[in-house]
């Protein structure tokens, strides 16, 4: 008879059959059973399935591993036929990128000097080639996008859709011939913008809300929250009769985000503090003066700050002594105008990062569900507002 605290002699950690293992468990003490359960019979072990690697895909497709890596990222240096063959082989083998390896590669690339990978298109649609440069926000978008593209090894190249004799088919062919597969669609000249290309051949992202057709992924400022930010800062200074002045064009280009946030905020204010919005089809001094004389705001929020400042000077009102003026948005970095800064260069950078991610994931064509990536604004104090009362926390307004 074996000692009470000894394991049954028939039990071993190797070559153990299921029935022997189960009998041993039945005849063992509680401590022995706990120990025995830690020993798994060989024939109960599940074989570990080996991860399919890039080398496996290369062998299946009959190409080099480096070719596979580039083909899966749709690198323009790989011919279309080769890309399709490699991608089909990867699909057959069930290849999936290793997330840990991808993270390591991203880290290595970030710590090494960038080198040229490909060209991205900056697609403009204004009546003249350089017309987009008249939009301050578009210039900021481009600067940020160009800077980030360069850091990632890409070149950002303008492409004008309204070149004489240009058609959607010809534009698509030219872009494809140049090896341009990623497109940033610049703000449109009109608020109901349209751009025609064979979108199935491209990864594309639009900047701002002015492009209506087609429905692409959009990177833009969070203009609804920008208005909330402006309102909270202005009310924290003690202003109570806030007036919003803007042209229809401004409101429509921003998808009514500014007016929506302003009117929504007014619902929480006392009736005596609610000043009607002045929304004009065209900026007219006569309409402004009539509105101002009737409602007497103590501060004006507007994207048309230069024009409104001129109208206030016509009324011999001094800013900020007699009335406050808040730029929504501002573009001078707070050197003069107080207001919100949309961080447009950051929006350009974010657009490039989003687009490069699409290229790496081989996402082409129109998205089934367009995404919206919205960037927050920053507050800049400026010299056109003053403290009406001791400053209070913005959380209380």
Quickly state the pLDDT bin for 292 (edges 50, 70, 90).
very high
| In contact, 330 and 309? CB cutoff 8 Å | no
* Three state DSSP letters for the chain: CCCCCCCCCCCCCCCCCHHHHHHHHHHCCHHHHHHHHCCCCHHHCCCCCCCCCHHHHHHHHCCCHHHHHHHHCCCCCCCHHHHHHHHHHHHHHCCCCCHHHHHHHHHHHHCCCCCCCEEEEEEECCCCCCHHHHCHHHHHHHHHHHHHHHHCCEEEEEEECCCCCCCHHHHHHHHHHCCCCEEEECCCCCCCEECCCCHHHCEEEEECCCEEECCCEEEEECHHHHHHHHHHHHHHCCCCCEEEEEEHHHHHHCCCHHHHHHHHHHCCCCHHHCCCCEEECCCCHHHHHHHHHHHCCCEEEECCHHHHHHHHHHCCCCCCCCCEEEECCCCCCCCCCEEEECCHHHHHHHHHHHHHHHHHCCCCCCCCCCCEEEECCEEECCCCCCCCCCCCCHHHC
Dmax of the chain from CA atoms? 113
**Please, what is the average pLDDT of the chain?**
86
Quickly state the pLDDT bin for 44 (edges 50, 70, 90).
low
Question: Rounded CA gap, 302 and 323, in Å?
Answer: 13
Domain boundaries, the chain: 1-48, 54-110, 118-222+346-376, 223-342+379-396
Of 1.10.260.40, 3.40.50.720, 1.10.10.10, 3.30.70.3270, the CATH number of 54-110 is 1.10.260.40
Work out the end-to-end distance of the chain between its first and last CA atoms, rounded to an integer number of angstroms.
85
CATH topology classification for 223-342+379-396 = Rossmann fold (3.40.50)
Q: Tell me what pLDDT residue 191 has.
A: 79
Indicate whether 100 pLDDT > 70: no
Percentage with pLDDT > 90 across the chain: 64
CATH topology classification for 118-222+346-376 = Rossmann fold (3.40.50)
118-222+346-376 and 223-342+379-396 share one CATH topology?
yes
Indicate whether 258 pLDDT > 70: yes
Q: Tell me what pLDDT residue 154 has.
A: 95
Q: Over range 248-258, report the average pLDDT.
A: 91
Indicate whether 16 pLDDT > 50: no
Quickly state the pLDDT bin for 73 (edges 50, 70, 90).
confident
Phi, psi of 287 (to 5 degrees): -65, -35
Percentage with pLDDT > 70 across the chain: 80
| In contact, 220 and 375? CB cutoff 8 Å | yes
Q: Burial code of 35-46, b = ≥16 C-beta within 10 A, e = fewer?
A: ebeeeeeeeeee
């Amino acid at each position: 008879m074996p000692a009470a605290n000894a394991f049954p002699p028939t039990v071993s950690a190797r070559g153990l059959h299921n029935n022997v293992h189960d009998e041993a468990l039945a005849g063992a003490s509680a401590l022995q059973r706990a120990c025995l359960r830690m020993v798994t019979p060989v024939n109960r072990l599940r074989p570990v399935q080996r991860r399919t690697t890039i080398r496996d895909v290369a062998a299946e497709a009959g190409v080099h591993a480096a070719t596979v890596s580039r083909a899966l990222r749709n690198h323009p240096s790989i011919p279309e036929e080769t890309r399709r063959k490699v991608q089909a082989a990867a699909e057959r083998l069930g290849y999936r990128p290793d997330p840990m390896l991808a993270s390591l590669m991203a880290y290595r690339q970030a710590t090494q000097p960038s080198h040229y990978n490909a060209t991205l298109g900056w697609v403009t649609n204004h009546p003249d080639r350089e017309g987009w440069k008249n939009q301050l926000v578009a210039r900021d978008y481009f600067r940020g996008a160009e800077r980030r593209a360069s850091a990632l090894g890409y070149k950002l190249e303008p492409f004008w859709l309204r070149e004489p004799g240009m058609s959607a088919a010809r534009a698509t062919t030219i872009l494809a011939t140049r090896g341009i597969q990623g497109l940033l669609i610049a703000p449109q000249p009109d608020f109901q913008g349209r751009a025609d290309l064979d979108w199935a051949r491209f990864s594309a992202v639009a900047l701002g809300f002015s492009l209506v057709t087609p429905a692409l992924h959009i990177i833009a400022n969070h203009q609804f929250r920008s208005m909330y930010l402006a309102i909270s800062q202005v009310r924290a200074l003690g202003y109570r009769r806030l007036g919003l002045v803007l042209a229809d064009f401004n409101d429509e280009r921003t998808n009514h985000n500014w007016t929506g946030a302003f009117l929504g905020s007014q619902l929480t204010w006392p009736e005596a503090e609610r000043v009607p919005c002045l929304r004009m089809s065209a900026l007219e001094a006569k309409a402004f003066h009539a509105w101002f004389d009737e409602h007497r705001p103590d501060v004006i929020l507007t994207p048309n700050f230069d024009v409104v400042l001129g109208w206030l000077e016509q009324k011999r009102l001094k800013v900020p002594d007699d009335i406050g003026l808040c730029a929504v948005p501002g573009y001078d970095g707070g050197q003069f105008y107080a207001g919100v800064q949309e961080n447009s260069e950051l929006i350009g950078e974010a657009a490039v990062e989003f687009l490069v991610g699409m290229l790496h994931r081989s996402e082409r064509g129109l998205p089934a569900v367009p995404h919206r990536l919205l960037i927050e604004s920053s507050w800049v104090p400026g010299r056109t507002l003053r403290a009406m009362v001791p400053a209070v926390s913005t959380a209380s307004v």
